[in-house]
Amino acid sequence: MASKTITVADDIEFNALIQALARDVVDAHIYWDQHNALLTQMEKWPEVQTEGWPFWYYTLQAHRRTALASLARAFDQEQSSLHLRSWLSSIREHLHLFGKDAVVKRRPGDPFVQWMNADAAVPDPAVLDLDIKLCSKSDPDVSALFVYRNNVLAHRGAKLSRQGDSANLPDLFVEQIERLLARARDILNRYSYLFDASFFGMTPLGHDAVERVFKGMQRDLDQRKADIAAQAPTVETKRLDFMRQIQLINDESAGNHEKASKDREALAKRFGHTIDSGGQITGVVPWTNPSKQDEA
């Protein structure tokens, strides 16, 4: 079924369509970029991955779902909505807005327009028809996207849900996602260029931010390990001193088990340890609120 053609009054309204559609296409690229960047950094910095695994997992899922939701909107098939297919159908009805001659006439003082190739003409109807097909459900990749969207992303398929954990939920291969992303980018920029000599960038401004976060966390982990290593001799000296004093208590309180037990408990409290009945360290004293101790 053909998409309903979106009618516009002038180039201003058509530009508004481009800007709105571009938000979905660009968002799909940005969140997929961040998803992949996060995966790369998790593999590169396994200690950081382990340190915050639940957070990284939920963040990965959020990036993936947002990317696919934006991609599904760009390739939507609903008749009255704005998406690549309906936008391309509208281009076919507004060819007079495209090509260098039309753009120069609308924007005579724009230097970017002057740099347009001389062959930047009205869209080729054959290429336009092919692009419409590539954005239709008859295309295997678009069809796979909508099977996923309708059963996992936008809706939860009841038939699959009845199968419980044994259900084979539809999935999208990375290759399919990236083909659709590239297709959306190329189609958007092909006609955006012919409309007003502009292109949309797909790389987020914070592309390197994920790597900086992981590097910063790794520095913190390395510093923590260095601090622990530096404290190790002091901790060992303290432990040996504690054990020496425990031995003195045991030696001096021979035969008086009650006194030895109280002395060992007092010593352990002073050193910040918990001990068993024989004076062996079992842990550290839990922190208690000093004000509560005073009240007691």
Concatenating the DSSP letter of every residue in 28-41 gives HHHHHHHHHHHHHH
Structure tokens at 142: 């678009």
Last residue of a domain, one of 183, 206, 229: 206
Same structural domain for residues 20 and 115? yes
Whether 3 is in a domain gets the answer no
| Same domain assignment for residues 37 and 133 | yes
| Average pLDDT of span 84-99 | 94
In angstroms, the CA 81 to CA 102 distance is: 27
User: Of the candidates 147, 178, 206, which is a domain's last residue?
Assistant: 206
Rounded CA separation 77/143 (Å)? 10
Are both 133 and 256 inside the same structural domain?
Answer: no
What average pLDDT does range 254-274 have in this prediction?
81
pLDDT for 296? 42
| Same-domain status, 74 and 20 | yes
Q: Quote the mean pLDDT of the chain.
A: 86
- When divided into structural domains, the chain yields a total of 2
Residue 5 maps to a domain: no
Name the residue with higher pLDDT: 150 or 188.
188
Identify whether 95 is part of a domain. Answer: yes
Q: What is the mean pLDDT of residues 147-166?
A: 77
Domain-terminating residue out of 206, 226, 256:
206
171 and 218 co-located in one domain: no
Across 202-227, average pLDDT:
87
Going by pLDDT thresholds of 50, 70 and 90, the confidence category of residue 219 is very high
Same domain as 202, residue 114:
yes
Residue 141 has pLDDT above 90, yes or no: yes
Residues 38 and 169 in one domain: yes
Phi, psi (rounded to 5 degrees) for 199: -130, 155
Q: Which amino acid is at 184?
A: A
Is 150 part of any domain?
yes
Mean pLDDT of 15-26: 96
Do 185 and 47 fall into the same domain? yes
Report the predicted TM-score, pTM, of the whole model to 2 decimal places. Answer: 0.74
pLDDT tens string 49-76: 998 899 999 999 999 999 999 999 999 9
User: Would 111 be classed as within a structural domain?
Assistant: yes
Examine the pLDDT at 291 and tell me if it is beyond 70: no
Task: For residues 191 and 222, state if they share a domain.
Answer: no
Q: Token digits for 181? A: 């992303």
The percent of residues in the chain predicted with pLDDT above 70, rounded, is 90
As a whole number of angstroms, the distance between CA 124 and CA 56 comes to 46
Structural domain that includes position 270: 214-295
Same domain as 176, residue 61: yes
Tell me if 109 is assigned to some domain.
yes
Residues 231 and 107 grouped into a single domain: no
With respect to residue 104, please indicate whether it lies within any of the assigned structural domains.
yes
Tell me the pLDDT band of 167, cut-offs 50, 70 and 90: low
Instruction: Examine the domain organization and report whether 180 and 222 are in the same domain.
Output: no
Asked if residue 2 is part of any domain, the answer here is no
